[in-house]
Amino acid sequence: MPATFDRMWKKSLEKIYNSHYFNDQDFKSWISKTTLFKIENNIAYIAYKSSITKAIMEQQLSLFETTLQEEYGSPIKIHLIEQKEMEQMIPEVVVQQKTNILLENKFNPTYTFENFIEGNSNQEAYAACFAACNQISFPAFNPLMLYGNSGLGKTHLLHAVGNYLAAERPEAKVIYMYSGDFVSLLIEAMRAKSIHGNTVDQVKQQLLDCDYFLIDDIQNLQNSASQEVFFTVYNQLIQKNSQIIITSDIHPHDLNNLQNRLVSRFSSGLAINISKPGFETSKAILKKKLEGREDIISDDVLDYLALTFSNDVRNLEGRLNQLIFQSTLFNPEIIDMKFAMEHLGKEPIVEKRSELTIRSIKKAVSQFYGLSYSDIEGKSRLKQIMNARHICVYLSREMLHKPYMQIGQELGKRDHTTIQSSYNRACELIKKDKAFATAIDQIKEKLT
């Protein structure tokens, strides 16, 4: 599905939504989930996922045709086709759809250079990323590789690059991908290629159309066929002077699951380690998170948190959130050391396991909300169940870095776009719903 078709259909649906022909519930539940995947001989093929969608649209088909015609610029007829049927007929279109979705740059707006706390542990990585954003003619260091333990700010810096370029150099084309999504996308493209031809080549061409290629957690690029494709894409991006920025949990020389020729190329650029933040940096991170509310917690508690939980910035912030939440329940005059030790000492019950999985996340969430697996995997749209579902998706992405397609299989066989939408909704709720954000922190504490 070319990106132009996607934009055309979204604009058409936006016009129809604003015209109020349909109530909000019907539109959001059924009509908004359709896709325009092909226009051929003035026939627009619209894929739907439910027979209810088809029934609703057939009643107002002329409205959809007229609105789409305004965007297309020529007379057009609409042919409705079930999503599953379309996927079987033209799997390369499905790959195209998923590629377009993955290449949409949805950078976290809170992950900026301004919000990144610099210290001795990360200032080189910060400086290198900022310099890469302003290296217009020829990248000085290519690739730029950031490595270090999880939770120390590597992903923050990748998003900061994306946000900075969008604001300061909007003409620059930026692609950001998590390596697990890259692998899943190419596996599907290879399957489609066996039936219809050049799908993998089409994906490669889209990946090459960028000035900045940002890839997160390269250590998960373990599929050998995906490494072959990545090798080709990497070489061609270097030749056209596109800046490549890579993150990894380990030093490039320790990437034993990757081909030697890839590791060799990663080492040819600039590799920078992000280490555990020092005391001052950790305390600055806490103060940044408290901005405007510093008076609710004593300075010695911040010192204690900065000294004790600095191995992982996410855990550091999570401990602070835990104390803030407890203070809303018990309403102390100030969060002092006595209060902190009392409540941080309440260790959650942790199920001992050899490894964290999507299933164990699902179990922790269902226990927290008093729900069953079938509730979370089902189709209920009750707020509590929807929130639990969003948290499952969010934690599966943030803690396990699983691709959307795999998470969807574990949560009632939902499709990729539904899971990505759920993740984006969770990110929104974290910023504006304090109870939701606190629930995530408490569940994460139980899991870790």
Residue-level pLDDT, tens digit, the chain, 448 residues: 445 787 889 899 999 998 888 888 889 888 988 988 788 888 998 988 888 899 899 988 999 999 999 988 888 999 998 877 776 655 555 556 666 666 666 788 989 999 999 988 899 999 999 999 987 666 678 899 998 888 889 999 999 999 999 999 999 999 898 888 777 777 766 766 544 445 777 778 888 888 999 999 888 887 677 788 888 889 999 999 999 999 998 888 778 788 888 888 888 889 898 988 888 889 999 999 898 888 899 999 999 998 888 888 888 999 999 999 989 888 998 999 889 888 886 544 333 444 789 988 998 888 787 777 788 888 888 888 999 999 999 999 999 988 888 899 889 899 989 999 999 999 999 999 988 998 898 898 888 7
Contact (Cβ atoms closer than 8 angstroms) between residue 302 and residue 286: yes
Side by side, the strands of the sheet bearing 77-82 are 35-40, 43-48, 77-82
pTM across the whole model: 0.57
CA atoms within 13 A on the CB side of 315: 20
Structure confidence at residue 428 (pLDDT): 93
What is the longest distance spanned by two Cα atoms in the chain? 74
Angle subtended at Cα 430 by Cα 425 and Cα 103, rounded to the nearest 5 degrees: 45
Structure confidence at residue 88 (pLDDT): 61
Distance in angstroms (rounded) separating the CA atoms of residues 163 and 137:
20
Structure confidence at residue 174 (pLDDT): 92
Structure confidence at residue 124 (pLDDT): 93
Token couple for 8: 């055309």
Q: Give residue for tokens 């870790």.
A: 448
C-alpha distance from residue 279 to each of 55, 122, 310, 332, 335 (Å): 62, 13, 8, 26, 20
Length of the chain: 448
C-alpha distance from residue 421 to each of 33, 108, 144, 215, 324 (Å): 11, 14, 30, 21, 29
Structure confidence at residue 198 (pLDDT): 57
